[in-house]
Amino acid sequence: MPDNPEEFPATPGPSPLIPAVPAEQSPPELLPEASDLTWEKSVEKSAKPVAVMFYSPGCAFCRQIEPYFRNYAAEYRDTVVFIRLNVMTSPWTAERYGVRSTPTFKFFCDGKPVQEMVGAVYPAILKKMVDEVLVHGKECAKRSTSIDYEITGYG
Protein backbone atom coordinates (compact mmCIF):
# COMPACT_ATOMS: atom_id res chain seq x y z
CA MET A 1 0.00 0.00 0.00
CA PRO A 2 1.53 3.32 -0.99
CA ASP A 3 2.19 5.90 1.73
CA ASN A 4 1.63 8.84 -0.55
CA PRO A 5 -2.03 9.49 -1.50
CA GLU A 6 -0.90 10.81 -4.88
CA GLU A 7 0.25 7.31 -5.78
CA PHE A 8 -3.33 5.93 -5.73
CA PRO A 9 -4.85 5.54 -9.17
CA ALA A 10 -7.73 7.85 -9.97
CA THR A 11 -11.19 6.40 -9.51
CA PRO A 12 -12.87 6.07 -12.87
CA GLY A 13 -15.88 8.32 -13.29
CA PRO A 14 -19.00 7.66 -15.35
CA SER A 15 -18.27 6.97 -18.96
CA PRO A 16 -19.38 9.75 -21.30
CA LEU A 17 -20.58 7.11 -23.77
CA ILE A 18 -23.05 5.50 -21.34
CA PRO A 19 -26.04 7.71 -20.53
CA ALA A 20 -26.91 8.01 -16.87
CA VAL A 21 -30.05 6.11 -15.90
CA PRO A 22 -32.38 8.32 -13.87
CA ALA A 23 -33.23 6.86 -10.48
CA GLU A 24 -36.83 5.83 -10.10
CA GLN A 25 -38.73 8.31 -8.04
CA SER A 26 -40.69 6.69 -5.31
CA PRO A 27 -44.32 7.72 -5.09
CA PRO A 28 -45.19 10.06 -2.22
CA GLU A 29 -45.95 8.17 0.96
CA LEU A 30 -49.68 7.77 1.54
CA LEU A 31 -49.41 8.04 5.32
CA PRO A 32 -46.51 10.32 6.20
CA GLU A 33 -45.34 10.94 9.74
CA ALA A 34 -45.70 14.49 11.05
CA SER A 35 -43.78 15.96 13.98
CA ASP A 36 -43.81 19.10 16.08
CA LEU A 37 -41.42 20.63 13.52
CA THR A 38 -43.42 19.71 10.40
CA TRP A 39 -46.94 20.18 11.84
CA GLU A 40 -47.57 23.69 10.51
CA LYS A 41 -46.54 22.84 6.94
CA SER A 42 -48.23 19.42 6.93
CA VAL A 43 -51.54 20.30 8.58
CA GLU A 44 -52.18 23.99 9.21
CA LYS A 45 -51.05 25.17 5.76
CA SER A 46 -52.53 22.26 3.79
CA ALA A 47 -54.81 23.18 0.90
CA LYS A 48 -56.77 19.94 1.42
CA PRO A 49 -58.61 18.68 4.49
CA VAL A 50 -56.30 16.69 6.77
CA ALA A 51 -57.04 13.55 8.81
CA VAL A 52 -54.54 13.04 11.62
CA MET A 53 -54.08 9.89 13.66
CA PHE A 54 -52.40 10.66 16.98
CA TYR A 55 -50.83 7.38 18.09
CA SER A 56 -48.27 5.90 20.42
CA PRO A 57 -46.01 2.96 19.54
CA GLY A 58 -47.25 0.80 22.42
CA CYS A 59 -50.95 1.30 21.64
CA ALA A 60 -52.63 -1.95 20.59
CA PHE A 61 -55.72 -0.17 19.20
CA CYS A 62 -53.46 2.10 17.13
CA ARG A 63 -51.81 -0.89 15.48
CA GLN A 64 -55.22 -2.47 14.93
CA ILE A 65 -56.80 0.54 13.16
CA GLU A 66 -53.72 1.73 11.23
CA PRO A 67 -54.17 -0.63 8.23
CA TYR A 68 -57.67 0.78 7.72
CA PHE A 69 -56.41 4.36 8.11
CA ARG A 70 -53.70 3.57 5.53
CA ASN A 71 -56.31 2.12 3.13
CA TYR A 72 -58.43 5.26 3.49
CA ALA A 73 -55.32 7.34 2.75
CA ALA A 74 -55.05 5.49 -0.57
CA GLU A 75 -58.78 5.71 -1.29
CA TYR A 76 -59.07 9.47 -0.56
CA ARG A 77 -55.57 10.48 -1.74
CA ASP A 78 -56.96 13.08 -4.18
CA THR A 79 -59.21 14.84 -1.66
CA VAL A 80 -57.83 14.33 1.88
CA VAL A 81 -54.33 14.28 3.34
CA PHE A 82 -53.79 11.52 5.92
CA ILE A 83 -51.02 11.96 8.49
CA ARG A 84 -49.81 10.15 11.59
CA LEU A 85 -48.29 11.85 14.63
CA ASN A 86 -46.44 9.96 17.36
CA VAL A 87 -47.44 11.54 20.69
CA MET A 88 -44.28 10.21 22.36
CA THR A 89 -41.91 12.04 20.02
CA SER A 90 -44.13 15.10 19.39
CA PRO A 91 -45.69 15.91 22.77
CA TRP A 92 -46.09 19.64 22.11
CA THR A 93 -48.56 19.19 19.24
CA ALA A 94 -50.47 16.49 21.11
CA GLU A 95 -50.78 18.76 24.15
CA ARG A 96 -51.75 21.74 22.03
CA TYR A 97 -54.76 19.86 20.66
CA GLY A 98 -55.72 18.21 23.94
CA VAL A 99 -54.82 14.65 22.99
CA ARG A 100 -55.02 12.60 26.19
CA SER A 101 -55.26 9.06 24.84
CA THR A 102 -54.49 7.13 21.70
CA PRO A 103 -55.64 6.62 19.10
CA THR A 104 -57.16 10.04 18.63
CA PHE A 105 -58.35 11.06 15.17
CA LYS A 106 -58.66 14.77 14.40
CA PHE A 107 -59.85 16.28 11.16
CA PHE A 108 -58.69 19.71 10.00
CA CYS A 109 -60.02 22.08 7.34
CA ASP A 110 -58.15 25.27 6.56
CA GLY A 111 -55.82 24.43 9.45
CA LYS A 112 -58.64 24.36 12.01
CA PRO A 113 -59.82 21.27 13.86
CA VAL A 114 -63.40 20.51 12.81
CA GLN A 115 -64.01 16.97 14.07
CA GLU A 116 -62.53 14.47 16.51
CA MET A 117 -62.85 10.83 17.57
CA VAL A 118 -61.04 9.27 20.51
CA GLY A 119 -60.26 5.64 21.21
CA ALA A 120 -60.86 2.40 19.39
CA VAL A 121 -63.44 3.03 16.68
CA TYR A 122 -64.94 0.81 14.03
CA PRO A 123 -63.31 1.38 10.64
CA ALA A 124 -66.73 2.08 9.06
CA ILE A 125 -67.32 4.92 11.55
CA LEU A 126 -63.91 6.38 10.75
CA LYS A 127 -64.67 6.28 7.02
CA LYS A 128 -68.08 7.91 7.59
CA MET A 129 -66.36 10.68 9.54
CA VAL A 130 -63.99 11.32 6.61
CA ASP A 131 -66.98 11.56 4.27
CA GLU A 132 -68.75 14.00 6.62
CA VAL A 133 -65.66 16.20 6.89
CA LEU A 134 -65.49 16.35 3.10
CA VAL A 135 -69.11 17.51 2.94
CA HIS A 136 -69.29 19.87 5.93
CA GLY A 137 -65.70 20.56 6.98
CA LYS A 138 -64.98 23.69 4.95
CA GLU A 139 -68.19 25.38 6.07
CA CYS A 140 -67.52 24.43 9.68
CA ALA A 141 -64.01 25.87 9.51
CA LYS A 142 -65.32 29.15 8.06
CA ARG A 143 -67.80 29.53 10.93
CA SER A 144 -65.28 28.82 13.66
CA THR A 145 -63.19 31.52 15.26
CA SER A 146 -59.44 31.37 15.27
CA ILE A 147 -57.69 30.46 18.50
CA ASP A 148 -54.64 32.30 19.76
CA TYR A 149 -52.20 29.51 20.52
CA GLU A 150 -49.70 31.66 22.35
CA ILE A 151 -48.82 29.36 25.22
CA THR A 152 -47.84 31.26 28.31
CA GLY A 153 -49.02 31.18 31.87
CA TYR A 154 -47.81 34.71 32.51
CA GLY A 155 -50.24 37.46 31.45
Spatial separation of the C-alpha atoms in residues 5 and 112, rounded to whole Å: 60
109, 77 contact by CB (below 8 A): no
Active site residue 59: yes
Active-site residue among 50, 51, 53, 62? 62
The bridge status of strand 50-55 relative to strand 81-86 is: parallel
Q: How many CB atoms lie within 10 A of CB 152?
A: 5
Active-site residue among 43, 52, 53, 59? 59
Residue 116 buriedness (CB in 10 A; 0-12 / 13-18 / 19+): middle
Residue-level length of the chain: 155
**Distance set, CA 78 to CA 37, 41, 75, 81, 126 (Å):** 25, 18, 8, 8, 18
- The catalytic site residues sit at 59, 62
